[in-house]
Amino acid sequence: MVEFLVFLCVIFPVLAGGAAFLDRSNALKKRLVTVTGGVLTLASIALALRGGGSIPFSSALAGAMSTPIHVLDLALLCLIAYIGWRRSHRLILTLAAVQLAGMFVLGSYLHPEVAAEAPAFTVDSLSLTLVLVVSIIGSLIAYYAIGYMAEHERHLHLVRTKQPRFFAIILVFLGAMNGLAMADNLSWIYFFWEVTTLCSYLLIAHDDTEIANTNAERALWMNMAGGVAFVLALLWLQSVQGTLSLTALQAMARSGAKEAAFLLPVVALCIAGFTKSAQAPFQSWLCGAMVAPTPVSALLHSSTMVKAGVYLVLRLAPLSLGTTVSTMIAVCGAFTFLVMAALAAGQSNGKKILAYSTISNLGLIIACAGINTPAAIAAGMLLLVFHAISKGLLFLCVGAIEQKIGSRDIEDMRGLFQVMPKTALVTAFGIVSMMLPPFGMLLAKWMALESSVEASAMPVLVVTLALGSALTVLFWGRWAGILIGSLNPRLELAPETQEATMGFAVRSLTIGAAVISFFAPLLYLWLVEPAVQAMFADVSSLSFNGWYGGVGNRYGIFAVYPLYLLIALGFWYAWNETKKHAVSGPELPYMSGVQAAQNGTIGFIGPMKGFVEAKGGNYYLDAFFGEGRLIRPTNYIALALFVMLLGGVLQ
Amino acid sequence: MKFDLQQWINTGRLKSPWVAHYDCGSCNGCDIEVLACLTPVYDVERFGIINVGNPKQADVLLVSGTVNPRNRVVLKNLYDQMQHPKAVIALGACGLNGGIFQEAYNVVGGVDKVIPVDVYVPGCPPKPEAIIDAVVVALGKIKEQLEKADRGQAVNG
Amino acid sequence: MIAKLFFGLIGLAVAPVLGGIIAGLDRRVTARMQSRFGPPLLQPFYDVLKLLGKRPSAVNAWLVLCSYLTLMSSALAVFLFFFQADLLLIFFVMTIGAVFQVMGALSVNSPFSQVGAQRELLQMLAYEPLIIMVFVGIALKTGSFSIENIYALEQPLLFSLPILFLALGVALTIKLRKSPFDISTSHHGHQEIVRGLLTEYTGPQLAMLEIAHWLDVVLILGLCSLFWSTGMIGMLVLLAATYFVEMLVDNISSRLTWQWMLTRVLAPTMVLCLVNILWLYTL
């Protein structure tokens, strides 16, 4: 049964993707995407309800996948090398060649023999978390893309539709992500890893403009650099430890094999994870990736693919438990969290704000993985889930906004409430769910802060986390504020219609963000706690437990249910009072007595009795948080931290 | 209970007149006297009087100077932005009827040509004591309005 | 549990009265420092009652919603404080109000309230890390973020966290927008960009924000009281002294720019916090 469900999660979307690619007439597209989405959702939930399991190499599924994976792996690298050659990008070509050589050595000289009873797929709570995120949120975003891409191509006036290719890549990507989450053998994980890299490249370059191609190349080479680290780790593990199985490695770590030879490949894998999650100094590829159509940004570059990196780091956390390496990982993550929040505060481009805040949150997850206590890992997992929901939602909203107003600059979103009342409200809700209690993100952040007190590099972590959190409130708060603003003196709301698939996806994610936050304690008990228990032999008193409808540990209690209900009641009351109030009619703001309204805009009577429109702008604090000021020092410091991370191996 | 709250609110209204001051084109003589009221010598905060810059939060509008075609719109706007209940005090000879400028080509006249005035304070300029007294009288006017409202009439229509 | 709930509710009932009286005292003492007599002690209550009685009108409905939410969040934070809940939780709940107040001000296209809102965001940027640092310091000392454990201490926190108390004082000045940090908006007789953040909040909305402000004062003073948790008299003396110094600073300093606040106040204070935490951490 588990085998069939894994088949549905991994292979089925790939087959559907193949069908979508062949479907040149576009007739079946909607049905294919919907059915695949439904199948993935149901299969992942069924898998979660069964509580996972393990599939050995001797099973029919794994047996059938073994040879194709080896062949496709090499084919994939050849394809990437070809891309590098075609685009005459020497770096990509070199990196692909190095990986090809590495894989060749691994296959021909080291002969990674796997025992038939060794697990090919291990489905535990940690992988289930990622599988659920990918399958459910990923499917919703793919569904959204149906409506979005039709509109997108209308905008571009394409002669020949590129949608079959687009949806094929999206579906294949979903399968690969699920495979990555569940595979146990590192060489398989590597294969799925490279598939997502290639998908990302193809999707960023989808619009085939010059900037899209440049940015796609950058994304490709940075991820390939991570791939090289991955291959090196594979070679080292196979030749020194003699195994590529995560389960086996975890057992070795438990028996206390934490010498330098064991930690070195772990560090290499973490660096691969850092590139995938666009941690400093690799942040530039993710920001460049924002040129892709919005569903791609939502799917690959915020809710799922970049999560692969942090998933790997979380997965490897027990291997470095209690070492300097772990501490350094925490410091790297916390550093990224802080700097990226600062960069986000200096941006007015909505998608870039989302990109930087994504990197920032991924940094927080990595910091949690590095703190490496049961509480911190739990915080990291909750962050992974809630960030995927809220950020996916925000991206979808920004996509819809961009199609309507033709801009992704938040300054152009002033008074959006009057143009697109529903979307503006949903976006504001998404923002609030990122930064205010009682939503899940805050629960997770609370856990992260509380667990940081126990961390080994505690003073450094605490300062960065405190400053980073404050910056987060800064850039989210002002965005939410200008969204709900009204430029029009008389509040006339435009009726808003939304394409059916886009509306469905946005609604689902909105409800999801609200409901899942409410059931966060259940989610914790059901998914997070088993994962943490599996990771730590000894779950000490530090771990959180569900208590009084909340989550608590010996540090304190975050009472979710009472808090949620109180705030919801307060909000409901305020909302009703406001509705009663609105009748008395709006007036003009204070403008020193010369206020005026013209053509639905607010302004004042200026000199020569002319009407002057009042315009506001946010402080972006370029002198503090501008890209020009921060990027260079960030890269240097991040590289220095990498050196220290490597140095941690010798400890 | 509701009645009690209303009475408390009325007490509050009489004990916390927030003043907004608008200079319609005065020679600054009156304005200096208004500022004098805020100094420790006269200490208007004893009566809960605060000078706020925002008509939206003010209860009493102090207007000094002559009204001319340019600023009559501003005066009207400021008055309209004040929330009920509210009172207006015209300061000094110019505020009352244009003073020595009333014959000038660009003078509309006193403040009451544009907005209803509750208290007139003569003088060129009026003494600070007179201004403080005017605010107290204005409070009486507000009280009258409130009593009228209690008898079922609209507040300061 | 029931006792704590009861305590929380009593705290919630007493806090607005206490906050109002503190505000009245503040105005009286300020007046005395300027050799004036100042308003009656109950003046803040008169002001709020009057504002409640104003005929409501607002530029848009968001201002109304945001003022309700601000009051709700402040009340919830005060309740949680007397309920002896988790310190970080109280902090997060406090943020709701601060954020919604800014959102309301940003929703109006008025230059005054826009500038005020941006400045308020910067003030939040300045006080939030300080408060988190203080809480982390407390957790380092007591082993918990829960207020209960502080009362179990035998020695006042002030002895082990003196610098963090100073930082809390700075955070208090910024949070309560007292001079030199009354950048986003200012109190009673003072003005800043008309009324800054509060320009468009009028009548009943302004009254609600004022009550929320009183609650914030009580909450922050409550946080200060944690530093002398061993005796009632010591606690009261500490609070009185702290608030007196706040008022003194309010009266003798001029308003600073936000650049000054970020570079010359936030940065060194963070370093000082770090010093205190390192000291606890290494001991």
> What percent of chain C is modeled with pLDDT above 90?
35
Q: Report the range out of A104-108, A111-115, C267-271 with the highest average pLDDT.
A: C267-271
pLDDT digits (tens, 9 = 90+) for B28-64: 888 999 888 888 888 888 888 888 888 888 889 999 9
Q: What is the mean pLDDT of residues C132-142?
A: 88
- Does a cis peptide bond (omega within 30 degrees of 0) precede residue B116? no
What residue ranges do the domains of chain B occupy?
Answer: 22-150
Which helix (H) or strand (E) segment is A512 a member of? Answer: helix A500-518
pLDDT above 70 for B155: no
Q: Which of A110-119, A189-198, A497-506, C71-80 has the lowest mean pLDDT?
A: A110-119
CB C274 to CB A459 under 8 A? yes
Q: CB-CB: which of C27, C31, C195 is closest to B54?
A: C195
The subunits that touch chain B, with at least 3 C-beta pairs less than 8 Å apart, are A, C
Supply the pLDDT for residue A551. 66
- Check if the beta carbon of residue A176 is closer than 8 Å to that of residue A73: no
Which helix (H) or strand (E) segment is A180 a member of? Answer: helix A163-182
Supply the pLDDT for residue A368. 92
CATH 3.40.50.12280 describes domain B22-150: yes
C82 CB-near residues (< 8 Å, 6+ apart)? C7, C8, C10, C11, C12, C15, C222
CA–CA dist A335, A353 (Å, integer): 18
- Check if the beta carbon of residue A164 is closer than 8 Å to that of residue A24: yes
Structure tokens at B142: 């507000």
- B72: nearest CA in chain A? A593
Supply the pLDDT for residue A545. 56
Supply the pLDDT for residue C152. 79
Structure tokens at A441: 């993100």
A579 vs A541, which has greater pLDDT?
A579
Q: What is the mean pLDDT of residues A582-594?
A: 72
Other CB atoms within 10 A of residue B41 CB: 10
Interface of A with C in 432-491 (CB under 8 A): 432, 435-437, 442, 446, 449-450, 452-453, 458-459, 462-463, 465-467, 469-471, 473-474, 477-478, 480-482, 484-487, 491
Question: Alpha helix locations (H) across B52-154?
Answer: 69-81, 92-97, 128-150
Supply the pLDDT for residue A542. 46
Classify burial at C20, counting beta carbons within 10 Å of its beta carbon; exposed 0-12, middle 13-18, buried 19 or more: buried
- Check if the beta carbon of residue A42 is closer than 8 Å to that of residue A103: no
Per-chain mean pLDDT for chain C: 88
> What percent of chain A is modeled with pLDDT above 70?
94
Chain C residues in contact with chain B using a Cβ-Cβ cutoff of 8 Å: 27, 31, 34-40, 43, 45-57, 188-189, 191, 194-195, 198-200, 202-203, 206
CB A594 to CB B75 under 8 A? no
Per-chain mean pLDDT for chain A: 85
Supply the pLDDT for residue A541. 44
The subunits that touch chain C, with at least 3 C-beta pairs less than 8 Å apart, are A, B
CA–CA dist A165, A29 (Å, integer): 11
Supply the pLDDT for residue B1. 44
CA–CA dist A396, A11 (Å, integer): 27
Q: What is the mean pLDDT of residues A488-506?
A: 74
- Check if the beta carbon of residue A637 is closer than 8 Å to that of residue A643: no
- B56: nearest CA in chain A? A590
Q: What is the mean pLDDT of residues C205-217?
A: 92
CA–CA dist A623, B123 (Å, integer): 54
Q: Which of A228-232, A493-497, B46-50 has the lowest mean pLDDT?
A: A493-497
Q: What is the mean pLDDT of residues C112-135?
A: 91
B56 vs A557, which has greater pLDDT?
B56
Which amino acid belongs to residue B93? A
pLDDT digits (tens, 9 = 90+) for A437-484: 888 888 888 888 888 887 788 888 889 999 999 999 999 998 988 888
- C112: nearest CA in chain B? B54
If you count residue pairs, one on B and one on C, with CB atoms under 8 Å apart, how many are there? 88
Report if pTM > 0.80.
yes
Supply the pLDDT for residue A338. 93
pLDDT digits (tens, 9 = 90+) for A360-418: 999 999 999 998 888 888 889 999 999 999 999 999 998 888 888 888 888 888 888 88
Which amino acid belongs to residue C147? I
User: A98: distance to nearest CA of chain C, Å?
Assistant: 45
Supply the DSSP string of C51-71, one letter for each residue. HHTSPP--SSHHHHHHHHHHH
Q: What is the mean pLDDT of residues A556-567?
A: 74
A148 CB-near residues (< 8 Å, 6+ apart)? A293, A294, A295, A399, A400, A403, A499, A502
Residue that the structure tokens 């000490």 belong to: A540
pLDDT digits (tens, 9 = 90+) for B135-147: 888 888 887 877 7
Supply the pLDDT for residue A491. 59
Asked if the C-beta of C125 comes within 8 angstroms of chain A's C-beta atoms, the answer is yes
CA–CA dist A115, A247 (Å, integer): 13
Q: Which residues of chain A have a CB within 8 Å of the CB of C136?
A: 449, 452-453, 462, 466
pLDDT above 80 for B111: yes
CB C92 to CB A442 under 8 A? yes
Can you name the residues that pair with A611 across neighbouring β-strands?
A605
pLDDT above 90 for C144: no
Segments of A38-100 assigned E as strands: 53-56
Supply the pLDDT for residue A27. 74
CB A587 to CB B77 under 8 A? no
- Band of residue A586 on the pLDDT scale cut at 50, 70, 90: low
pLDDT above 90 for A498: no
Supply the pLDDT for residue B84. 79
First to last CA, chain A: 45
Q: Which residues of chain B have a CB within 8 Å of the CB of C200?
A: 56
Burial A251-273 (b: 16+ CB within 10 A, else e): ebbeeeebeeebbbbbbbbbbbb
Supply the pLDDT for residue A489. 57
At B90 the three-state DSSP class reads: strand
Q: What is the mean pLDDT of residues C94-113?
A: 89
Q: Which residues of chain A have a CB within 8 Å of the CB of B78?
A: 593
pLDDT above 70 for A597: yes
Supply the pLDDT for residue B150. 65
Q: Which residues of chain A have a CB within 8 Å of the CB of C124?
A: 470, 473-474, 477
Q: Which residues of chain B have a CB within 8 Å of the CB of C38?
A: 43, 45-46
Structure tokens at B36: 């004098």
Q: Which of A351-355, A452-456, B126-130 has the lowest mean pLDDT?
A: A452-456
